[in-house]
Structure 1
Amino acid sequence: MEHLPPDGAIEESARPTWPRLAGPERPAPAADPVADAVADAVADADAARHVRGRPLGELLLLMQSTRAAMREAAWAECYRRYHEVVWTRVFYVIRSISWLPEPREVAADVASDVFVGLPDAARHYREQGRAEWWLKQVAVRTALRRKAALTGRWASDAAGRRSVSLDDAADEVVQELDAVEPEELMELERRLELLRASPEPTKRRWAEFIALYVDGCSFQEIGARLGLSDGTVRNWLCQIRKFLAQPLTAE
């Protein structure tokens, strides 16, 4: 009679033997989602501390880091500190489209485009020591391209006779805005809103006049577009300057 082991027992020789795995064939340990999440959070916090307060030029370089957490932290820091700068420059260009009903919404959309494309644009950053100027140019160029898509052109020279290059137009806008405080730009926009909402037809047309004037149109071109004589254009300019010089509460 064949010998059988007692119930519940297995002889050592009867146990299956499994090959020992070594090297790359060894099964990987099971993933631990909690541990991975903690590690990611630590990496993100470390990257955020590393980029805080860094100059813009360094942030642009860090956007090209091999570490994803560092790239994202540099982008977020740039957005936090420079979104208003970008939006102001974009809005200055977009608001010059006189027929656009919601320039703020379009400006917000264009500003988002600037930051979405910033990591790719940063690869071409070579303006050492002029990072803010470079970012302003990127913002203005993006806005001018949107303006060209909406109107068919981005700018004209002072006499309104010829188109200028995109780079020249961007440089001119950046220089103009750098000479003006952001608070002054927002003050001008508040006054333009008052003109657009005015019950007086003439004042509503003043808003169109200002948009064309800011866009660099000559008196002759403004008159042709608004159906005004040269004398009326100059008279309106004097009246508009007086209006803009008044305290805002006077309106």
Structure 2
Amino acid sequence: MSHSASSSLPVPDATRPATPISLPAIRAGDPDALAACYRSHAPALMALALRLTASREDAEDIVHDVFVGLPEALARYDERGQFGAWIGRVTTRVALMRQRQVRQRGDVSLVDITEPATSTPDGDPVLREKVLQALATLTPPLRHVFVLRVIEGYSHAEIASLLEISTNTSEVRLHRAVQQLRRVLEAYV
């Protein structure tokens, strides 16, 4: 899979003043509006995609796909609720669809977690890396439920709908994920 397309996305620049996000302008295809949206939301979406996939390359592709399709996707956004939560759900769906496609093709994804994008309460980068490594040891079904429930705050009913599983299956997967994470993290301590 070529990743040169991801280089076409604007790079977040902390030296630029924040530009307000204009959804009508993004819908109309305004590149400046899309760039402002990217600068505002890409870091959080990248962290979400990285947690769901445990692969930096896959996460970059997912965020790229979200922003490439954003003008079209906004046609279905009714502007109820917060835009950040909506684009997070879009990113989650894109990540889940991509992982389903990978499983159907039988591709093997290499875990690349050299640059953690998540934070820990105490900000310890070593602990942050160990948590990401522990998440990467989970199978995708367990990791998806864990990330969506514990990190993103989705309810089991929402997770069941997103993953097309039962609420009970979501609860069981969360329980198994927590057990496995405890075992893996106890080895680090």
Q: CA deviation at 1:123?
A: 1.7
The 5-angstrom pairing of residues 55-74 of structure 1 reads: 56=21, 59-65=22-28, 71-74=30-33
The residue number in structure 2 matching 1:242 is 186
Residues 41-77 of structure 1: per-residue CA shift (max 9 Å, x gap): xxxxxxxxxx9542x4xx2222134xx6xx1111010
Partner residue in 2 for 1:190: 129
The aligned residue for residue 41 of structure 2 is 82
- Aligned equivalents of 2:74 and 2:96: distance in 1? 19
**Is 2:129 the partner of 1:214?**
no
Deviations 1:75-112 (A, max 9, x none): 010111111111112112212xxxxxxx1111111111
Indicate the percent of aligned positions where both proteins have the same amino acid. 24
- State the distance in 1 between where 2:137 and 2:71 align: 37
- How many Å apart are 1:243 and its aligned residue? 4.7
Work out whether 1:130 is the aligned partner of 2:103: no
**Number of residue pairs the alignment of both structures matches:** 132
The answer to whether the aligner puts 1:113 opposite 2:60 as a matched pair is: no
Provide the C-alpha distance between the structure 1 equivalents of 2:185 and 2:133, rounded to a whole number of angstroms: 15
Tell me how far apart the structure 2 counterparts of residues 128 and 208 of structure 1 sit (CA, whole Å). Answer: 37
RMSD: 3.8
Letter in 2 for 1:183: S
Deviations 1:222-243 (A, max 9, x none): 7xxxxxxxxxx95x65443435
Secondary structure of 1:92's aligned partner: helix
Q: Any gaps of 5 or more consecutive residues in structure 2?
A: 1-16, 105-116, 146-169
The 2-side partners of 1:209 and 1:120 are apart by 34
In the alignment, the residues of structure 1 paired with residue 187 and residue 139 of structure 2 have an alpha-carbon distance, to the nearest angstrom, of: 12
TM-score (norm 1): 0.42
Matches of 2:100 and 2:140, distance apart in 1: 16
2:94 to 142, 156, 159: 142
More relative contact order in 1 or in 2 (CA 8 Å, sep 6+)?
2
CA distance in 1, matches of 2:182, 2:26: 49
Gaps of 5+ in 1: 1-50, 96-102, 153-180, 196-205, 223-232, 247-251
Structure showing greater radius of gyration is: 1
SS in 2 for 1:138: helix
Instruction: Report the counterpart of residue 26 of structure 1 in structure 2.
Output: none
Q: Matched residues in 2 for 1:62 and 1:72: separation? A: 9
Q: CA deviation at 1:182?
A: 4.2
TM-score when normalising by structure 2: 0.54
